[in-house]
Structure 1
Amino acid sequence: MSDPSTLSAAVQGSHTVFLVTTPAWGAGAPDAELTDGKNVADACKAAGVQHLVFSSLLHVTKETGGRLKHVPRFDHKADVEAYIRASGVPATFGEDGVFTLAYPVGADARFPLIEIGEDMGKYVVASIKQRTKVLGAQVLAAADYYTPTRILKEFEEVTGQKTRFVQVDPQAYKAALPMPDAIAQELLENHLFIGEPGYFAGKDLKSSLDLLAEVGLKPTSFKEYLEKNKSAFA
């Protein structure tokens, strides 16, 4: 995606393009992801693509009023989304949740969980089949919002293992991460963003879940995920 000259042939003749930009870690790397997304958007516009489905994320810096400003992997995806919207390419924006328990947040934090390997494609299929309904819309890919309390309760019910929730001091959490400071800060702010204002900024998942139901699909619940992978937690 970094070489625009290769993209024309890649998208030429395509009605629909599904775009996922991959984060590259390192100095100056986030800008490369932004450039890649813009390159694909330009190629899609030139080729007359009728539906660009982009795996986007919220702009953490803007959503928090600058409180959390070191999450470029989110911000640049949001910048790509803005660029696509301005380009006029017919598009839908999917945002994926996470199967993660982040400790520097309270027990009431809400995680939009998704079984990424099984379910992300369902949202793409539903978006393609219902193109006119989702053009210009954000599709929030998650089975439901789960608090740490609910996550651990369901984990105990399925595995029989005892659990407890511990809220870790943010700076202690960052200090424990075995990675460069800038990356550790980004991961910390990513998790704090889940606490306030929320991974999807508190947006309702109903319309996205209805989108799946209308084409006969449903997401995998966290408990179903645990049941299918029970042996991994033995």
Structure 2
Amino acid sequence: MITTALTIAGSDSGGGAGIQADLKTFAALGVYGTSAITAITAQNTCGVDAVQAVDADVVAAQIRTVASDIPISAAKTGMLFSTDIIRAVAAAVRAANLPFLVVDPVMVATSGDRLLQPDAEASLQNEIIPLATVVTPNLAETEVLTGAKVHTLDDMRAAAEHLVAHGAAAVVVKGGHAMTKATDVFYDGNRMELLESVVVDTTSTHGTGCTFSAAICAYLARGATLLEAVRRAKTYLTGALQNADPIGQGSGPVGHFWNVTHAAD
């Protein structure tokens, strides 16, 4: 039986993040990817030049249409952009009764460009995060979601506890390259785990958050437990960073297919 996953996110015309990164990750990990596009971005490795949101009813229709035809083993959200889209996605996700939902609370692109309207932050917290199996904020997103500064490992632990206490079933607070080791904090209300990997010296970091959350989604779809899925996703992302080829003039994309042997090789 084919394992399937659904990504609900914005596009990236440069191909390194958003829907494109999610689908590449699904494919690399042996999962058939489906999608619902929330916004079209004119984006490359240097930044975002334009954003056009998809009508909220059309976003909901994409989710509904896919889920009515193809059994979805797990799903993830990325760029949701606006309050209207968030509300439509929340309603469609509830109606589809999806077994797992990974929420990447995308707010700002690697380049610094805004991907979530400020007035939509409360809707994200109140309507999407309570539906999530796991939420995967980076440090900047964690500060917005908790209203507190997050600089140290103790700050990350406190933030993880705060997010679970305020509605998240589980959270991975991503430390990224802010520490000597790439250290993330996993917390599900019972277990607090530190997840460490080497810091990869690369400028090819475009789409790391999308790739990590998509990998968690793929591994959940394939039957992994949540903590196992998070650990395996971190290993996959580290390999993608280590094996990224330089593309573009800015922050290039990670190497999504590093673990795949190509017939042309």
Please state which band the TM-score falls in when normalised by the shorter chain. Answer: 0.3 to 0.5
Higher share of residues assigned strand: 2
TM-score (norm 1): 0.36
TM-score (norm 2): 0.33
Larger radius of gyration: 1
Higher share of residues assigned helix: 1
